[in-house]
Chain A
Amino acid sequence: MKMKSVYKVPGGKLIKIFLEYNLPMKTIKSIIIAGDFFAYPEESIQQLEQLLQGKPLDEKKLETMIKDFVKDNQVEFIGVSPTSITDAIMRCK
């Protein structure tokens, strides 16, 4: 099932999520995290998208996963955060 969300981060940038949902498994089949934000290094977003493949669509788990990813890979976001990306993902419909 294809889902989408457009979420303006308060005081930040716009996130657009394109998500394919695996309904029977309740997991993310594939995801694109798009928008007008900044992330350093840029390649980290693609790595994050790959990491989220097959993971359950669960707010707490996703937020922890994204936070850990940012920390482990020394990613710097400008205009978005692990929490706001999680929010954007959970808003998909």
Chain B
Amino acid sequence: MMTEEWRLLQTGFLSAAENMAIDRAVLVAHSKGYVPPTVRLYGWNPAAISIGYFQQLTEEVDLTACDEERIDYVRRITGGGAVFHEDEVTYSFVIQEQHPQISKNILESYKTICQAIMNGLDFLGVKSRYAPINDILVNNKKISGNAQTRKQKTVLQHGTILTDVDVDKMFRLLKVPNEKIKGKMIANVKERVTSLTHELGSDFSFEDVSNALKKGFEETFDVTFTDGMLTDEEKKLATSFQKSTFGSKKWNHQR
């Protein structure tokens, strides 16, 4: 059997609304068969908080602090929790649900896709393990969070690989249920979260991580990647989603 050729997109550092709009645009384009299965690698500029589809924005995020520190915020189309995106490599993976390597079982497919991330980390010399439902751990500490949706018979999973982490900053931006135990929570998160810098020192680049992740997907799914660009159709879709959805107050403040 011929090795399948998938598309690799490297879109650089973009705003929260642009990033979420592109993920959705690729989902739509692939569901219609316009583009092959796609792995996209990207970052966030400015740094941003994304919240899960079912969360309430003002319940999770201190919007005043975000404005003061020039931090973007956006609601994702995927469930899961609030994430502070600053020093990380973010991936998104789009593939039709009926693809033979994607399980109909959602939890199974989380595991398969997370395996690609873990294989990628392996290439960097970092041993990790999958912690259901949606985390990847190194030495029992979280290094990666992941979230999946399925729409139009297509799977979109996106997630983060922390390259560095500033827990104090994160807690200035996120709200906690109980201010009295905030100090304890911060100490607890510091103990439970790690990053590539923490594991490897600072002698690696964004490109090193991107390349490792690409190889992780190639190895896991036995495919090769062609470097691609967003098609004109995807760019149009992304611009439209950015305006109608991810850049709109109505979407971000809903619920």
Query: Which A residues form the contact surface with B (CB < 8 A)?
Result: 6, 13-14, 16, 18, 32-42, 45, 76, 78-79
Contact B55 A42 (CB under 8 A): no
Determine if B53 is an interface residue (Cβ-Cβ < 8 Å).
Answer: yes
Main secondary structure of the interface of A (DSSP, over half): strand
- Identity of the chain B residue whose Cβ is nearest the Cβ of A8 in the assembled complex: B177
- Identity of the chain B residue whose Cβ is nearest the Cβ of A12 in the assembled complex: B133
Contact A32 B255 (CB under 8 A): yes
Contact B81 A40 (CB under 8 A): no
B150 contacts which chain A residues (CB < 8 A)?
Answer: 40-41
A42 contacts which chain B residues (CB < 8 A)?
Answer: 53-54, 77, 79, 149
Given contacts A36-B52, A38-B133, contact A6 B177 (CB under 8 A): yes
Determine if B245 is an interface residue (Cβ-Cβ < 8 Å).
Answer: no
Determine if B168 is an interface residue (Cβ-Cβ < 8 Å).
Answer: no
Q: CA A53 – CA B106 in complex, angstroms? A: 30
CB distance from A3 to the nearest CB of B (A): 15
Contact A36 B54 (CB under 8 A): yes
The proximity string for B residues 225-239 relative to A, scoring 1 for CB distances below 8 Å and 0 otherwise, is 000000000000000
Contact A34 B54 (CB under 8 A): yes
A35 contacts which chain B residues (CB < 8 A)?
Answer: 52, 54-55
Determine if B36 is an interface residue (Cβ-Cβ < 8 Å).
Answer: no
A79 contacts which chain B residues (CB < 8 A)?
Answer: 133
CB distance from B183 to the nearest CB of A (A): 19
Q: List 19 A-B contacts (CB under 8 A).
A: A16-B55, A16-B59, A34-B54, A34-B55, A34-B255, A35-B52, A36-B52, A36-B55, A37-B79, A37-B80, A38-B78, A38-B80, A38-B148, A39-B79, A40-B149, A40-B150, A42-B54, A76-B106, A78-B107
